[in-house]
Amino acid sequence: MAKLILIRHGQSTWNAANKFTGWVDVPLSSLGREQAMLAAHKLSAYRIDSCFTSLLIRAIETAVICLTERDGVFKDKSPVLKHNADDPQWHGWDCYEGDRTEEIPVFLSAALDERYYGDLQGLNKTLSTETFGIDQVHRWRRSFSVRPPGGESLADTAARTIPYFKDRILTHLQNGDNVLVSAHGNSLRSIVMVLDGLSQQAVCDLELATGIPIIYDVSPAGEITNKTILS
């Protein structure tokens, strides 16, 4: 059985400030780095063959810490970030194949980015309820198909995340790779919706804690046989 390891990035500086973050590219807070370090130690016993993350630094930081701060026999495997081959700034290094016995490829994709919060980005969540009303803000945050002003609904996020999971990540799992996915609360919600067979309402109510690995056993046919939360 291949292992699929999902982790929501550690606390970011804007999580700590209670702000809507979305696509704003803020880093981990000191607590977030501690959460990622703790997750790395929890994952020490797990072989990881490949990793997928979003383009946002908080998810990339979490992935790199999880891959470089482990103990045990896997601690010396180095992550190698695989940037977009269409970007000429990478001078062809994105084509480096490497040695899979010593390195872990980390694939970056905007498909795994957080839900885009549009006009809410940068606003304090509590103060937003005073401006727009608690019911309206709750509807924007916890409905499946209602979009915040200028932003994405969870359904919009799922429309890019789920195909990427099925086309790219699941392929690695079915080939026997153990895969780490470091992403965001909403992009991971949509993946968990598929894995756990959740309804639209159930996935809206789902809370994913920062820095806590969730591990699925995946058969060669792509079926889920077990789920473990390393809390």
Number of domains in the chain: 1
CATH number for the domain that contains residue 8: 3.40.50.1240
What value does the mean pLDDT take over residues 77-97? 71
13-67 residue pLDDT tens: 999 999 999 999 999 999 999 999 999 999 999 999 999 999 999 999 999 999 9
Question: Hey, which residues are catalytic here?
Answer: 9, 114
Range of the domain at 150: 2-229
What gap in Å lies between CA 207 and CA 186, rounded to an integer?
Answer: 9
pLDDT given at position 98:
73
Q: pLDDT category, 73, cuts 50, 70, 90?
A: confident
